Structure 1
């Protein structure tokens, strides 16, 4: 892991792009599923198989509602990411920070998994996640503990 401030800012930009792509991909998948459900409801309207027909329609409606809730959450994540695009690094860890620790790199934004950035692995985590909570408010060279392990904050962007 390199430690130059410019390099950390570049890694932060790539982590942000990874999160945006994750949200975009999940939204596309959900929108596709909603289209499939719409087609299924149209097909079920043409059928008249009694109770089986009503059960199938009810299941499709429930699935549509569930996907709708997921889509709303993704839209909120996308909104947060749009706000973070303007986020400037601060002296302490906050939402939008890329944190280099002795245990790895963490981008505090949304839960979007891990991605490989050159030789480094960057963990994209949400602020309410356990590791996000442990890092929030931390300062450069501060030692923190998480799950009985200590780590030091080596860099911030």
Structure 2
């Protein structure tokens, strides 16, 4: 199970790096478009195009900030810890689903088993945090915590 936990962690890191690369490519593309935008005879059209590119740049900058927060969260994950109390970096097996508490990276499939990488700030993450093996909680029906790794 520790190997699976490591694979989930690596999948989360890969997710962050892929998103970061996409955002950086968008920023680079927008910078090129902004610099190559020339004044045309249709002045208003030119200004509207520049404004739209500027908005896209701001949006990409905000997304890059979120990526940096995800990287910081992953830096805080300690995989070697063994505890029965759910915390950042825990792999939680329930009767409904399997959760890896790290970042919100969604569904990750390993060895034909589905795991959900969730943030501790997400609704399910907040519910799981601090719980122990054997605890029950209510999330889309009753959930029983079978194992914490």
With the shorter chain as reference, the TM-score category is over 0.9
Q: Structure 1 regions of 5+ residues with no counterpart?
A: 1-6
Structure 1 length-normalised TM: 0.88
Q: What SS does structure 2 have at the residue aligned with 1:100?
A: strand
Cα pair 1:16 1:85 within 8 Å, conserved: no
- Residue matched to 1:22: 15
- Residue matched to 1:101: 94
Cα pair 1:140 1:154 within 8 Å, conserved: yes
Residue range with higher mean Cα deviation, 32-41 or 137-146:
137-146
Note the aligned Cα RMSD (angstroms). Answer: 1.4
| Structure 1 stretches of at least 4 aligned residues deviating more than 4 Å after TM superposition | none
Cα pair 1:87 1:96 within 8 Å, conserved: no
C-alpha displacement of 1:86: 5.4
| Structure 2 CA distance for partners of 1:104 and 1:86, relative to 1, 3 Å | closer
Give the number of aligned pairs: 148
C-alpha displacement of 1:139: 0.3
C-alpha displacement of 1:87: 5.9
C-alpha displacement of 1:53: 0.8
Q: Structure 2 regions of 5+ residues with no counterpart?
A: none
- Residue matched to 1:51: 44
